[in-house]
Structure 1
């Protein structure tokens, strides 16, 4: 193995650039947060065509004194592929840079059904991000998670005690589910055919259950979640039924149970307990009983960016809960 003295100056300079890039990568999240706060995607969507910098700034009520700073900000956002830029000639035949939406920034348009703004707001909230400061020290701590080490309470305890965090959590999870719902129903809809009833275990505000019920009206869909999550929803929704309860204790009986983004919140032993309660709630396999699991599978893709996202989500689970994103084997 080569020791440090064998590295060339060029290699060390490249290494330093790499380390600095890693060090400053938090700007990606902060730039994303700022783009959402400013409403850049909303303005571009409403304008309906590529927009020049000065017009974009004017619509956003940004002072001309910030022109150079905002240009540099947009340069970073386009480098991140959050927005795109296009050079066109103005009436005087001068080349001018214009900005437009990309598929990524389309998800930041507040009026769009598939927008993920609530999920972004959840994950960049200081209460959530604060735990990332203690990951290193947590490895030598008896606490169950970095979140618990940082806040002295676990995530689920905090959400039950703080209505504002509970609301933010529910809205964030719902916004992150919409595109997944459509994808699952388009590509795996056969899984739900023939079912008479289904329980969405830990289903939050019922985004997935409602999508299934609308796609398959013959299925009676029930959402099981903690009382503080569903109590205010019981009288507001005629499409699905809401049941307050604890999945570690019992699950309502049905032909099938759905676990979407649930098992990754818990360690292996806790997952076994959840699955046992689910098994008790459904008929045997030969009688049509099903447990449907939707979760990320680490290393199930060769796409570098997708793998990186999977690894970050795995660390997010480690930071906030006792769970993890699991590999296929």
Structure 2
């Protein structure tokens, strides 16, 4: 009996050691997860995917080093970078035959999203989101949570940079250009998905549409090209609309959505409402409601936003990558804006407060959905 007890104690100790080791490894993984993002940024800045794509076949390391002008003394370091990018699924590595030199190829992810000549290219989005302007304020999140000031500082971005995001972009032309390029690349990708999956259901028959906060007009231009009978406009702040001058496809209207929204059959808000708190969302949507006719006359508000998944109610766990990405994004935007991502119940509360009586939700990606509002 004593021997059995000793064995049981030994087993418990082994289990405890294994759990401690797993916990330690998981903690390290979280600590250094940011290296994945920065390695992706490095790959986008170097144009690794472009060089492999232009080569048309797997590219030997020596050729890749030469094309990217990597210093000879950094060869081993670059190989280590590629090892991580391969592990992340962005590139594939192989050794041809008896040759010792490795070759690198594109994967479906890098072939679609990191080749700058592709319509789905997301490199500008990568560079915008991982810009120090966005990342640095997260270093003072704890200070923002615990700093009592009057009036309250709205975001960690305000605390770090001394001004709100949209004021910052207006005063920093280089960042403004990079930010708008990033938003445009995402808009191009979303436009392709929306038009391909539910374009006729959403846009056919509309005489006019205004894209509120539409930036450089990528989404509105794609809709206008697909539905030429729809008169499309972009409504945004004056410094944002500067790049739209001379665009024959869409009209540019300068203004503030908190004051008014130009009249149209439909108003579209892509990734706008998550920037704002509930009260501001209601204000914006009330102005949108004033701008459109009722449902019977074809009026609608089209919203592209996340609809947050709820944690598993049985055990509170989160397992799938989509839910984790939504949670990561929700905390990311906590830095630059005073808004949040919302569940369907939270969206419904805002819609009703703004005077809308009906809505429908169509999942476009695992991450985001298309919402139509009617009154």
The reply to whether TM is greater than 0.5 is yes
Deviation at 1:129, TM superposition (A): 1.0
**Are residue 229 (structure 1) and residue 240 (structure 2) matched?**
yes
- Structure 2 residue 210 is the aligned partner of structure 1 residue 199: yes
Q: Which residue of 2 aligns with 1:245?
A: 255
| Post-superposition offset of 1:262 | 0.7
2:90 matches 1:82: yes
CA distance in 2, matches of 1:112, 1:147: 33
Does residue 15 of the first structure (1) align with residue 23 of the second (2)? yes
Q: Which residue of 1 aligns with 2:222?
A: 211
Give the stretch that moved more between structures: 62-71 or 293-302: 293-302
Quote the residue 1:45 is aligned against. 53
Q: Return the alpha-carbon distance in structure 1 between the equivalents of residues 94 and 304 of structure 2.
A: 39
SS at match of 1:293: strand
Greater shift in the superposed pair: 50-59 or 34-43: 50-59
Aligned: 1:258 with 2:268: yes
Is 2:38 aligned against 1:33?
no
Q: Bigger shift: 269-278 or 44-53? A: 44-53
Per-residue CA distance 1:182-241 (angstroms, 9 max, x = gap)? 00001111210110000101101110000000000000001100111114523x101000
Structure 1 residues 261 and 45: CA distance shift in structure 2, 3 A: same
Does residue 342 of structure 2 align to residue 326 of structure 1? yes
Structure 2 equivalent of residue 159 of structure 1: 169
Residue of structure 1 in register with 2:189 after alignment: 179
- Give the aligned partner of residue 284 of structure 2: 274
For the pair shown, which has the larger CA radius of gyration, 1 or 2?
A: 2
Q: Which runs of 5+ in 1 are unaligned?
A: none
| More displaced 10-residue stretch of structure 1: 202-211 or 108-117 | 108-117
Moved over 4 A (4+): 300-303
Query: Following TM superposition, by how much is the alpha carbon of 1:303 offset from its aligned partner in structure 2, in angstroms?
Result: 7.4
Distance 1:6 1:61, change over 3 A: closer
1:300–1:328 contact (8 Å) kept in structure 2: no
Supply the distance in 2 between the matched residues of 1:277 and 1:202 (Cα, whole angstroms). Answer: 13
Q: Matches of 1:225 and 1:289 in 2, distance apart? A: 21
**Secondary structure of 2:244's match?**
coil
- Contact 1:231–1:244 under 8 Å retained in 2: no
Q: Answer yes or no: is 1:290 the counterpart of 2:300.
A: yes
Instruction: Provide the rounded CA distance (Å) in 2 between the counterparts of 1:166 and 1:59.
Output: 30
Relative to structure 1, the CA distance from residue 303 to residue 100 in structure 2 (aligned partners, 3 Å threshold; closer, same or farther) is: farther
Q: Indicate whether 1:310 and 2:319 are aligned.
A: no
Distance 1:328 1:11 in 2: 37
CA distance in 1, matches of 2:76, 2:176: 40
- In structure 2, C-alpha distance between the alignment counterparts of 1:258 and 1:223, rounded to whole Å: 10
SS in 1 for 2:235: strand
TM-score by length of 1: 0.92
CA 1:303–1:16 in 2, change beyond 3 Å: closer, same or farther?
Answer: closer
Conservation of the 8 A alpha-carbon contact between 2:212 and 2:268: yes
Other-structure match for 1:121: 127
TM-score, normalisation: structure 2: 0.81
More moved, 319-328 vs 241-250 = 319-328
- The residue aligned with 2:159 is 149
Count of residues in Structure 1 that have an aligned counterpart in Structure 2 = 321
Q: Distance in 2 between matches of 1:47 and 1:151?
A: 43
**Deviations, residues 142-189 of structure 1 (Å, cap 9, x unaligned):** 311111111121101111222222222211100111111100001111
Please tell me the root mean square deviation across aligned C-alpha atoms, in Å.
2.0
Structure 2 residue runs of 5 or longer lacking an equivalent are 1-12, 312-317, 346-375
Of residues 313-322 and 196-205 in structure 1, the stretch that sits farther from structure 2 once superposed is 313-322
Q: Which residue of 2 aligns with 1:104?
A: 109
